[in-house]
């Protein structure tokens, strides 16, 4: 039985994860970290200093401002860590990797738990080998804190890593209303009625390729959450970014 401590358990994503763990054989929720506690079937802790349960895996779906301290605490408490929160800086990621190595624990940072989103990013990286000119359009619900999204950033990196030659249109035209990430223009939109949509558009002489993905409900993330929890201890080199690190792609 894998014991899980969930940070951010009363947000929309956290509540969905609670429900999923309860119905998944081999997983047991043993505690929740939440600054504003609500009734639950397991102990709820308002601060890191109050936690008094032992878990195998720490799952974090909190906020960019708290995720690093939470992950650092979990590693020092000899837990593996699954991070589903955007906002870690490169320096913070490097520091967590060093700590994980020292503690012989594992960290899996997951920009998107959706299996279809992971496949989209993988396909985009493959397409970039042959079509280096690409832009990304991502649309999320109006309450999403970061823009561009962590998924869009990860997709841009996949495209950049997959390129065999430089894009022809670098520096041409106006910058995106979003961000230039690894010479990939990312356009970020926040609108009611959406949960998560991403489209990658590749252009070449006389042709174009569109790869798109939609998450209709948070249930679409649950298979990836379970996969991450069950396989985080298999992460190579102690820290990896992306659910594909524990998938056969």
CATH number, domain at 134?
Answer: 3.30.360.10
Same domain for 92 and 124?
Answer: no
Tokens of 86: 């955007």
Do 103 and 73 lie in one domain? The reply is yes
Q: Which position among 140, 157, 158, 187 bears the catalytic label? A: 140
Please state the pTM of the whole predicted model.
0.86
Considering the domain architecture, whether residues 55 and 125 belong to the same structural domain is answered as: no
Do 141 and 235 sit in the same domain of this protein?
no
Q: Do 119 and 33 share a structural domain?
A: no
Give the model's pLDDT for residue 36.
87
Are 140 and 76 contained in the same domain? Answer: no
**Sheet with 134-140, side-by-side order of all strands:** 178-181, 184-190, 134-140, 196-204, 207-215
Same domain, 182 and 205: yes
Phi, psi of 179 (to 5 degrees): -170, 150
Digit-coded pLDDT (tens) for 3-20:
999 999 999 999 999 999
Please say if 144 is a catalytic residue. yes
For the chain, list residues with pLDDT below 70: 169-177
Q: What is the pLDDT of residue 34?
A: 95
Shared domain check, 44 and 28: yes
**How many domains is the chain partitioned into structurally?**
2
Find the angle CA(243)-CA(106)-CA(150) to the nearest 5 degrees. 35
Beta strands in the chain (DSSP E): 2-7, 27-33, 44-45, 57-60, 80-83, 107-109, 134-140, 178-181, 184-190, 196-204, 207-215, 239-241
Integer angstrom CA distances of residue 159 from 123, 142, 200, 226:
9, 26, 10, 27
Whether 43 and 56 map to the same domain: the answer is yes
Does 3 qualify as catalytic in the annotation?
A: no
CB-CB contact of 90 with 98 (8 Å): no
Domain range for 140 is 115-216
The CATH number of residue 233's host domain is: 3.40.50.720
User: Catalytic one among 3, 19, 103, 144?
Assistant: 144
Count how many Cα atoms sit within 13 Å of the Cα of residue 89 in the half-sphere of its side chain: 6
Same domain, 6 and 104: yes
Say if residue 95 is in the same domain as residue 24. yes
Contacts of 15 (CB under 8 A, 6+ apart): 9
Question: Are 19 and 79 in the same domain?
Answer: yes
């Amino acid at each position: 039985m894998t014991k899980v401590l969930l940070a951010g358990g009363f947000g929309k994503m956290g509540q969905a994860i609670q429900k999923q763990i309860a119905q998944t054989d081999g997983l047991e929720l043993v505690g929740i970290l939440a600054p504003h506690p609500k009734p639950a079937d397991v102990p709820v802790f308002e601060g890191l200093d109050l936690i008094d349960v032992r878990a195998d895996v720490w799952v974090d779906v909190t906020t960019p401002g708290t995720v690093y301290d939470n992950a650092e605490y979990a590693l020092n408490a000899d837990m593996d860590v699954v991070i589903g929160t955007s906002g870690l800086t490169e320096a913070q990621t490097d520091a967590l990797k060093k700590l994980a190595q020292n503690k012989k624990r594992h960290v899996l940072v997951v920009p998107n738990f959706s299996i279809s989103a992971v496949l989209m990013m993988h396909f985009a990286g493959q397409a970039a080998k042959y079509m280096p000119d690409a832009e990304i359009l991502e649309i999320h619900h109006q309450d999403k804190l970061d823009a561009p999204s962590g998924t869009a950033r990860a997709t841009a990196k996949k495209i950049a890593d997959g390129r065999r030659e430089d894009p022809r249109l670098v520096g041409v035209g106006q910058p995106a209303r979003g961000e230039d990430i690894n010479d990939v223009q990312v356009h970020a939109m926040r609108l009611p009625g959406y949960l998560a949509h991403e489209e990658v558009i590749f252009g070449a002489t006389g042709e174009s390729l569109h790869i798109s993905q939609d998450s209709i409900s948070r249930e679409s993330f649950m298979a990836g959450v379970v996969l991450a929890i069950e396989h985080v201890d298999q992460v190579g080199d102690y820290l990896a970014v992306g659910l594909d690190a524990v998938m056969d792609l």
